[in-house]
Amino acid sequence: MSEQAMAAPRRAAGTLVAVSAAILVTVILLAIGSPNPARALTSFFWGPFSNRFFFGNMIDTFGLLILVGLGVCAAFRAGVFNLGGEGQVYIAALTTAVVALSMPAAPAPIGILAATGAAVLVAALLAGLSGLFRWAWGTDELITSFLISAALVPTVNFLIVGPLRNPDSNLMTTVRVAGQFRFLRLLPPSTLNVSVGAAVLLAVLAHGFLFSTLRGYELRMTGLNREFARYGGVAVGAYTVLPMAVSGGFHGLAGAFFVLGTHHAAIEGFTAGLGWNGIAVALIGRNHPLLIIPAALVFAYLEAGSRVAGLQTEFTFELAAIIQAVIFFLITAEIVLPRLRRGRRERSAP
Amino acid sequence: MMFNGVEIMTPILLAALGGLFAEMAGVLNIALEGLILIGAFTGILVAAATGNLAVGMLAAAVAGGVLAGLLAWVTSRLKANIFIAGLAVNLLAAGMIPFLSTWMFGTKGVLRFPDLPRMPRLLVGVHTGLPLLDDLLFGHSVTVYLAWLTAVIAAVLLYRTPFGLRLRATGARAESAVVSGVNAVRYRSIAIVVSGVAAGLAGSTISLRLGVYLPNISAGRGWIALVAIYLGYRTPMGIVIAALLFGLTDSLAGAAQGFMNIPGTILLGLPYAITVVAMILYSAIRSTKPRRRRRRIDAHF
């Protein structure tokens, strides 16, 4: 425990350094790569606040990031790894669209519940499957969750650009879902909608579950020390499969909200990056449901900034992936600030 | 089919052999995919600039090694989590290559290098009378033989040298290795760098054989290589067989696409599907006990 306590300030420094480094790298790349660096940098930093559209979209992303962050957190807390978030969000989004489109005349509550429920279920099953294999045969859930997801993404692409494509649209998209299923927009013309409130509420509920219930305690114990938890009578097997399923479920919810709230249809590749962002958010928030809220806000700002910078200068590239990369490199590192350096040399063994 | 399968297996084999070093030292290196991508990009760029394939491959190996060195540094010195930092390498490759490509060539799409020398072939026209055996052994790109040679070298290094013994000791039981005077952190770092060098080389064999660079040219081979390590029972010869199986399946799938009328888009997921099924079957049959890896992400704050 004392090692943990000692590591805390280093890890806090790590978070700060990681986010700062990500901003620094972004600034450098925009300055090198953009034909108009001053304009690109202004758009990056100020763009998300420059009008209602960009601002609303940023807050919309914020809500989705909370959900995927919670999803990643659910698995991390139990000591398992869900690397399939990318695909789970995408498949869930398609499921939402398909279910909603299959019942265009249904009353709003029924249609929304059915579409969302199906999306959550599908994503939970996909992730839970990896947990099940891990529990039954020790198959590495980190690899299987990634591979299952990666195997299915091309099929989703095929369905959206092929059989389910809206022939009247120039975009690779399905038909838009019926009007009564669409979430209330809060700041038109942006995509911000009421689902952001649900996301914040879920973060608070997740916090309550994790820190104020027996199941939450058992889940955390399993994640901290599986053998110790088993010795203490915790059914650790259940905490391998269920957290994976819950993790998938949160990703599924994000996919459902992305369709019903943000886009009203499933578009080819439209969820790309959301799964990786969830890992970044969970790590910035130190796997703490309440800290995930500000972490999601920071990341939504970075993401919105890079999107605006991309829109307003002709130079577009995968800035989001680079931001993620820099954060992932440093976020779990124990950055030793000069004042803390003393006493570190002794610990060279792993 | 056999002939193509052998060519397809080469990058998987090279990356898996490098990954075996990391695996033996107790590190699951999930960055192979990104390292292959970096190798493919660097390799073809340098080869086109110098007009020399060997120089390109060397540059790819160096690029992979340097990036893996960075990974080893953040995980050993800064105690970063290997999986998260490994993901960083994959995302860095996915983000930086389009950036560099746009910066240098004005496009993040396909890069063609028409003046690139062709990959030389060895033992062309040698026959034994058995067509299948001929296809397996003769007339392949020089990189195929390089990969086989690497398998032999890997086997010798891992099982016949003090270096290999210490590396394996690090992975088997780090505490005992440290007590016996082995610098476990150093061996783990070396193993990660070796896997980076091999993955970079693997990447260059993909792009140099084709003579073009395509976005996401690695197409999951890094992940397949990781699974090939398990399927090959964590031995160099086993990995050769596992990689060949993946190569054969891949070339079979390519052929099947023609007469079975499966949409090409769906087939993009096939390598991943085959890999995950193989991995699940493998673990179900062996039913290995869950290996204890320190997988926790610091949950305290």
Q: How confident is the model over A33-80, as pLDDT tens digits?
A: 777 888 888 888 998 999 999 999 999 999 999 999 999 999 999 989
- Number of domains chain B contains: 1
Res B169 pLDDT > 60? yes
* Among A12, A143, A158, beta carbon nearest to B227: A143
CB-CB under 8 Å, B284 with A137: yes
A321 falls within a domain: no
B118 falls within a domain: no
Chain B: residue whose CA lies nearest to A283: B297
Q: Which residues in chain A have Cβ-Cβ distances shorter than 8 Å to B276?
A: 143-144, 147-148, 151
Q: Please tell me the distance in Å from A157's CA to the nearest CA on chain B.
A: 7
Res A82 pLDDT > 90? yes
B102 falls within a domain: yes
CB-CB under 8 Å, B270 with A138: no
Task: Give B251 or B145, the one with higher predicted confidence.
Answer: B145
Q: How many residues are recorded in chain A?
A: 350
Q: Which residues in chain B have Cβ-Cβ distances shorter than 8 Å to A152?
A: 269
- Number of domains chain A contains: 1
Predicted pLDDT of residue A35: 78
Q: B164 φ, ψ to 5°? A: -65, -40
Q: Which residues in chain B have Cβ-Cβ distances shorter than 8 Å to A11?
A: 298, 301
A235 falls within a domain: yes
Q: A165 φ, ψ to 5°? A: -70, 145
A314 falls within a domain: no
B177 falls within a domain: yes
What's the average model confidence in pLDDT over B168-196? 90
**A239 close contact with B: CB closer than 8 A:** no
**Where does the pLDDT of residue A342 fall: very low under 50, low under 70, confident under 90, or very high at 90 and above?**
very low
Chain B: residue whose CA lies nearest to A163: B263
Q: Which residues in chain B have Cβ-Cβ distances shorter than 8 Å to A4?
A: 298, 300
Question: What six digits make up the tokens of A313?
Answer: 């200068």
What are residue B213's DSSP bridge partners?
Answer: B111
Cβ pairs A/B, distance under 8 A: 192
Q: Please tell me the distance in Å from A135's CA to the nearest CA on chain B.
A: 8
For residue A196, the enclosing domain spans 62-307
CB-CB under 8 Å, B91 with A325: yes
* Among A139, A335, A350, beta carbon nearest to B174: A350
Predicted pLDDT of residue B173: 84
B190 falls within a domain: yes
* Among A76, A144, A320, beta carbon nearest to B297: A76
CB-CB under 8 Å, A33 with B99: yes
What's the average model confidence in pLDDT over B66-91? 91
A318 falls within a domain: no
The CB density around residue B138, as the number of other CB atoms within 10 Å, is 17
Q: Which CATH number do you get for residue A231?
A: 1.10.3470
Chain B: residue whose CA lies nearest to A335: B78
**How far is B195 from B219, CA to CA, in rounded Å?**
18
B239 falls within a domain: yes
Terminal alpha carbon distance of chain A: 17
The CB density around residue B297, as the number of other CB atoms within 10 Å, is 22
Task: Give A3 or A266, the one with higher predicted confidence.
Answer: A266
Q: Which residues in chain A have Cβ-Cβ distances shorter than 8 Å to B84?
A: 279, 283, 328, 331-332
Res A10 pLDDT > 80? no
What's the average model confidence in pLDDT over A220-236? 86
**Where does the pLDDT of residue B172 fall: very low under 50, low under 70, confident under 90, or very high at 90 and above?**
confident
Q: Minimal CA–CA distance to B60: which of B45, B81, B50, B72?
A: B45
Question: CA A189 → CA A93, A179, A206, B82, distances in Å?
Answer: 22, 16, 31, 42
Q: Which CATH number do you get for residue B199?
A: 1.10.3470.10
Q: What is the DSSP letter of B215?
A: T
Chain A: residue whose CA lies nearest to B296: A79
**How far is A174 from A96, CA to CA, in rounded Å?**
11
Q: Please tell me the distance in Å from A288's CA to the nearest CA on chain B.
A: 7
For residue B193, the enclosing domain spans 2-111+130-286
Predicted pLDDT of residue A314: 63
CB-CB under 8 Å, A317 with B99: yes
A300 falls within a domain: yes
